[in-house]
Structure 1
């Protein structure tokens, strides 16, 4: 998993995967066992909580899709990238960026998420 661009694309794909078994398999493959995800709304520690967080976001925003925006900027074991969440072909409802810290074996160890645009009431 040395290609950071591929890893980030696979990370975004997990947020769009609605089949629970396929999503969990993808999470198990790209995340470290003790991985952690933190954003202003959620904190998830470990693969099971990361999976549950993604499922909850999908439940809150059914039918919407995460899309990578712009290039992945990476150095050493850190990558940052922008993303949008919205209906295909329409303006995004949520916009943000994540900073991922990778483990020595090229998995995701931590993700710090930032929200630049959110709908009222979130």
Structure 2
């Protein structure tokens, strides 16, 4: 049985890991080799695509970090959750998003569908 809360926490950790080698290791542990990530800003496949997409977001929002915006809701192989992106130590997020993850097995992500609810002008 999938622990959706733990999976979402691991997912946020990947987005917050700025050391390239460590981030890549976490990507390979969390995502299936042919996993897909799709949001309004892009669509990528596989470890290389996901890792490069995350690195790009980190460059764009340097000095900011992701955190879960509330409880994770999930059933079967699917979970949904809100995330917040903002400067460390501040309450007001710059970006708010909503992701749906579909697992492969109990501990790997096969697909991510991302939505952006609040973005900078």
Sort the TM-score into its range (normalised by shorter chain).
over 0.9
**Which sections of structure 1, spanning at least 5 residues, go unmatched?**
none
Q: CA deviation at 1:105?
A: 4.5
SS in 1 for 2:69: strand
Aligned residues of 2:4 and 2:73 also touching (Cα < 8 A) = no
**Which sections of structure 2, spanning at least 5 residues, go unmatched?**
none
2:96 corresponds in structure 1 to: 95
Report how many residues are paired. 120
After TM superposition, the runs of 4+ consecutive aligned structure 1 residues lying more than 3 A away are none
SS in 2 for 1:57: helix
**Considering only aligned residues, what root-mean-square deviation do their CA atoms show, in Å?**
1.2
TM-score, length of structure 1 as denominator length: 0.94
Once residues 43 and 66 of structure 2 are traced to their aligned partners in structure 1, the CA distance between those partners, rounded to angstroms, is 19
Once residues 107 and 88 of structure 2 are traced to their aligned partners in structure 1, the CA distance between those partners, rounded to angstroms, is 31
